[in-house]
Amino acid sequence: MTQTDDARLPLHARTHDDLLRRIRAGEWPHDVPLPSEGELAAEYGISVGTMRRVLGTLTSDGLVERRQGRGTFVRRAAFEHSLARFFRAGDRVPASRILDRQRVAAPADVAHALGSSGEVLHLLRLRLLDDEPYLVEDIWLPLPAFEPVAVAALDDLGDLLYPAYERLTGLVVAAATEDLSVVTASADDAVVLGCADASPLVRVERSARSVTGQVLEHRISRGPASRFHYRMEIS
């Protein structure tokens, strides 16, 4: 039986806390379901009903999700098409090219966003559609947690970084906060994106978090305002 040691807590609370510990430790990769309710109940020595209650709480808290016919999985936020909400891309995932990767002293705003100062890993990334520049991104990652990303072959990072983070570091991005604003293209952005100096860009600032609320990544994406599109259904 695997449980936390505080016998003062109700049994379902102890089971919940221990399952949460195991989720945070990365015991179940993205493609591996948790054991069934019956198997977990037997492991913890509790009733199936109590285990169902525990899993229900973890589901309500956004930590696990039930997939019909497949089981219960640790929840991972789906970011594959998140920027496509704002920059017309349809269902396509833009290609990715890392233009620069280096360890740097964290700028003040990055240190504040990550909740830590000192050295960070900075990635300058270009996203492309049909081989045309689509977005340019500044990405900051805390060190030493992301040291494996700092030394990995660039081709090993792929077009989607969050699966690479999990594969290389075991850290799972579960949620994020985004802020949108309009800025003008710097000279560097204009060169990379192939647009005129000072042309309008849409800026998306994102802080990505783990299941524990720890900020794992601070990212600023910029793309031409001419491609910007936003739609919301209101009822």
Tens digit of each residue's pLDDT (9 = 90 or more) over 31-65: 789 999 999 999 999 999 999 999 999 988 878 88
Q: 96-152, pLDDT tens digit by residue? A: 999 999 999 999 999 999 998 889 999 999 999 888 998 999 999 999 999 999 999
Same domain, 116 and 33: no
- Beta-bridged to residue 141, according to DSSP, are 121
Q: Does 235 fall in a domain?
A: no
- How high is the pLDDT of residue 6? 56
**CATH code where residue 155 lies:** 3.40.1410.10
* CA angle (136, 112, 204) in 5-degree steps: 30
pLDDT of residue 5 exceeding 70: no
pLDDT of residue 81 exceeding 60: no
Using DSSP, how many helices (H) and how many strands (E) does the chain show? 7, 8
Same domain, 45 and 147: no
3-state secondary structure string, the chain?
CCCCCCCCCCHHHHHHHHHHHHHHCCCCCCCCCCCCHHHHHHHHCCCHHHHHHHHHHHHHCCCEEEECCCEEEECCCCCCCCHHHCECCCCCCCEEEEEEEEEEECCHHHHHHHCCCCEEEEEEEEEEECCEEEEEEEEEEECCCCHHHHHCCHHHCCCCHHHHHHHHHCCCCCEEEEEEEEEECCHHHHHHHCCCCCCEEEEEEEEEECCCCCEEEEEEEEEEHHHECCCCCCC
Same domain, 155 and 102: yes
Mean pLDDT across 161-167 = 90
Same domain, 101 and 213: yes
Domain count, the chain: 2
Domain endpoint, select from 39, 74, 109: 74
The token pair at 132 is: 């045309």
Same domain, 49 and 91: no
The token pair at 136 is: 């340019």
Same domain, 118 and 217: yes
Q: Does 232 fall in a domain?
A: no
- How high is the pLDDT of residue 84? 54
- Which of 11-20, 136-145, 206-215 has the largest mean confidence? 136-145
Same domain, 151 and 65: no
**CATH code where residue 54 lies:** 1.10.10.10
Same domain, 177 and 147: yes
pLDDT of residue 29 exceeding 90: no
Q: Does 2 fall in a domain?
A: no
Same domain, 128 and 221: yes
Same domain, 134 and 200: yes
Higher pLDDT, 3 or 42: 42
Spatial CA neighbour of 119 closest among 150, 74, 80, 85: 150
Domain endpoint, select from 51, 74, 97: 74
CA distances, 142 to each of 49, 61, 81, 97, 160 (Å): 41, 26, 24, 21, 18
Q: Domain range for residue 40?
A: 11-74
Q: Does 165 fall in a domain?
A: yes
Q: 218-233, pLDDT tens digit by residue? A: 999 999 998 877 666 6
Domain endpoint, select from 74, 102, 120: 74
Q: Does 6 fall in a domain?
A: no
Q: Does 193 fall in a domain?
A: yes
Residue 196 binned pLDDT confidence (cut-offs 50, 70, 90):
very high
Whether the link from the prior residue into 144 is cis, omega within 30° of 0, is yes
Residue 213 DSSP class: -
Q: 168-188, pLDDT tens digit by residue? A: 998 888 888 999 999 999 999
pLDDT of residue 78 exceeding 80: no
Tell how far CA 188 is from the center of its chain: 27
Same domain, 54 and 95: no
